[in-house]
């Protein structure tokens, strides 16, 4: 078998066999195929696409490139995970994981770091003093058995094929390929031990997929790969035309997550968290209907068991559990500025990506993976799309450190709000549920 023949077949629109896909990945990982050959194959896939069977074969090959967590021998409930395609203020994993565990499913959650305008779950967790996201296999398994939830980063031995392929996709214009995105997501989730997955596919100005059609295609692609691999996937398409919740930035998002677990905080964050967690309970066999699953989640927040589970999670991973009852222990930058509205009207739209990037220039995120971040800075959104706006009304609180990045942050934010004279309807929070 020759690598060039595989490139030509995919270039011409053929369906690759499992053997061809296995050969291509293994040859690349053994350095028997050059970067330029894999780049050519990735571009052929980008233009010609892949069938669900091809995408599943690629996913399987990526999984087998590294360590796989087989949880079948553990004494745990059915393991279900949640994955979001990312957005601004998307802190859902923080309340969701302990809530789901408190309701009776195991949650083996392997998460990532923030890059560009989107935040990362690991960075948010690390704003909790002492919280350790680098767990050994033994620590990961032991914690799942003990408290039913783990939130960790990828180990270096985890799906190495994905790291190599993503680095190449990033510099060859092949990131936005649905089969390649599906294989990347599903390989990591299956390798982490999840038997089922709830996908939160964001759509809108702050999302990776900007249009409803693209978001739907990605959701359907993930569901298709899940069926091929006997891993049920349920997907929600949710709005990212404005930040989720009100707070953006690492410590700030932990604070808002704690509010959510107390039954307080923004209604949009609460609704998304409850809906996605309820879906995890259905996939995990804990409840049969959306109504019963939703009600169980509400009870776990009302009786405090979800907040208790979050405390257990923090303590198990070396964090300071006192932040649960005393959130002032979370480090928040001391300086505050406010962006005010210049005109009256209604908030018609926000450039959600620009808002995320405004938080990055304060130090809340990264432009490249080697950048360090400031856990204490960020933004607090004071208005939502559809709100009536008056002149001089505060739109955003900017939590900064000594003015670092403040001028650029303000300049970006000023361009991010569209205020018009006619009333505007708020966008839907959830557009579709797909199974």
Give me the catalytic one of 162, 239, 268, 374: 162
Q: What CA–CA distance (Å, rounded) separates 25 from 32?
A: 10
Q: What angle do CA 224, 229, 232 make, to 5 degrees?
A: 65
Q: How many CB atoms lie within 10 A of CB 72?
A: 8
Give me the catalytic one of 124, 188, 189, 375: 188
Do residues 225 and 59 make contact, with C-beta atoms less than 8 angstroms apart? yes
Active site residue 169: yes
Tell me whether residue 407 is exposed, middle or buried, using C-beta atoms within 10 angstroms of its C-beta: 0 to 12, 13 to 18, 19 or more.
exposed
Active site residue 188: yes
Long-range CB pairs of 211-218 (<8 Å, 24+ gap) are 212/237, 212/431, 215/431, 216/432, 216/434, 217/178, 218/85, 218/178, 218/181, 218/182
Q: What angle do CA 256, 262, 267 make, to 5 degrees?
A: 60
Q: How far is CA 108 from the centre of its chain?
A: 14
Active site residue 184: yes
Give me the catalytic one of 91, 117, 169, 309: 169
Q: What angle do CA 318, 321, 323 make, to 5 degrees?
A: 125
Active site residue 83: yes
Active site residue 326: no
Do residues 315 and 390 make contact, with C-beta atoms less than 8 angstroms apart? no
| Nearest to 397, CA basis, from 377, 415, 382 | 382
Give me the catalytic one of 65, 111, 184, 187: 184
Give me the catalytic one of 60, 83, 216, 309: 83
Which residues lie closer than 8 Å to 372 by C-beta, 6 or more apart?
A: none
Do residues 242 and 347 make contact, with C-beta atoms less than 8 angstroms apart? no
Q: What CA–CA distance (Å, rounded) separates 17 from 132?
A: 42
Do residues 242 and 352 make contact, with C-beta atoms less than 8 angstroms apart? yes
With both helix axes pointing from N to C terminus, report the angle between 290-302 and 267-283 in degrees, rounded to the nearest 10.
Answer: 120
Q: What CA–CA distance (Å, rounded) separates 180 from 57?
A: 12
Query: Percent helix, strand and coil across the chain, each rounded to 5?
Result: 45, 15, 40
Q: What CA–CA distance (Å, rounded) separates 420 from 418?
A: 7
Q: What CA–CA distance (Å, rounded) separates 335 from 239?
A: 31
Q: How far is CA 36 from the centre of its chain?
A: 30
H or E stretch at 35? helix 35-48
**Would you name the residues annotated as active-site residues?**
83, 162, 169, 184, 188
């Amino acid at each position: 078998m020759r690598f060039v023949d595989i490139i030509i077949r995919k270039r011409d629109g053929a369906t690759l066999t499992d053997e061809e896909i296995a050969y291509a990945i293994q040859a690349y990982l053994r350095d028997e195929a050059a970067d330029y050959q894999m780049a050519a194959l990735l571009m052929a896939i980008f233009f010609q696409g892949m069938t669900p069977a091809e995408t599943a074969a690629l996913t399987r090959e990526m999984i087998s490139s590294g360590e796989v967590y087989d949880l079948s021998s553990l004494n745990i409930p059915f393991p279900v995970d949640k994955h979001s395609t990312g957005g601004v203020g998307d802190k859902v994993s923080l309340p969701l994981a302990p809530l789901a565990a408190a309701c009776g499913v195991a949650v083996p959650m392997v998460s990532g770091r923030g890059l560009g305008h989107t935040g990362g779950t690991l960075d948010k967790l690390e704003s909790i003093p002492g919280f350790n996201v680098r767990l050994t296999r033994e620590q990961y398994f032991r914690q799942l058995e003990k408290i039913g939830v783990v939130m960790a980063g990828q180990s270096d031995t985890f799906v190495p094929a994905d790291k190599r392929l993503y680095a190449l996709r990033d510099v060859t214009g092949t990131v936005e390929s649905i089969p390649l995105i599906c294989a990347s997501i599903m390989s990591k989730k299956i390798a982490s031990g999840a038997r089922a997955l709830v996908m939160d596919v964001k759509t809108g100005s702050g999302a990776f997929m900007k249009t409803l059609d693209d978001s739907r295609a990605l959701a359907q692609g993930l569901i298709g790969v899940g069926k091929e691999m006997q891993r049920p996937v349920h997907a929600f398409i949710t709005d990212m035309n404005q930040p989720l919740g009100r707070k953006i930035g690492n410590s700030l998002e932990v604070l808002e997550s704690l509010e959510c677990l107390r039954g307080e905080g923004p209604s949009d964050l609460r609704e998304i968290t409850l809906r996605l967690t309820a879906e995890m309970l259905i996939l995990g066999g804990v409840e049969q209907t959306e109504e019963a699953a939703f009600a169980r989640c509400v009870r776990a927040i009302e009786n405090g068991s979800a907040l208790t589970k979050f405390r257990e999670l923090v303590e198990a991973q070396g964090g300071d559990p006192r932040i649960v009852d005393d959130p002032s222990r979370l480090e928040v930058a001391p300086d505050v500025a406010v962006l005010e509205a210049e005109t009256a009207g209604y908030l018609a739209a926000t450039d959600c990506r620009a808002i995320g990037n405004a938080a990055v220039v304060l130090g809340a995120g990264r432009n490249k993976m080697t950048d360090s971040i400031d856990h204490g800075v960020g933004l607090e959104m004071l208005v939502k799309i559809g709100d009536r706006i008056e002149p001089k009304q505060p739109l955003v609180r900017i939590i900064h450190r000594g003015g670092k990045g403040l001028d650029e942050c303000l300049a970006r934010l000023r361009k991010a709000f569209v205020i018009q004279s006619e009333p505007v309807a708020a966008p839907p929070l959830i557009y579709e549920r797909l199974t």
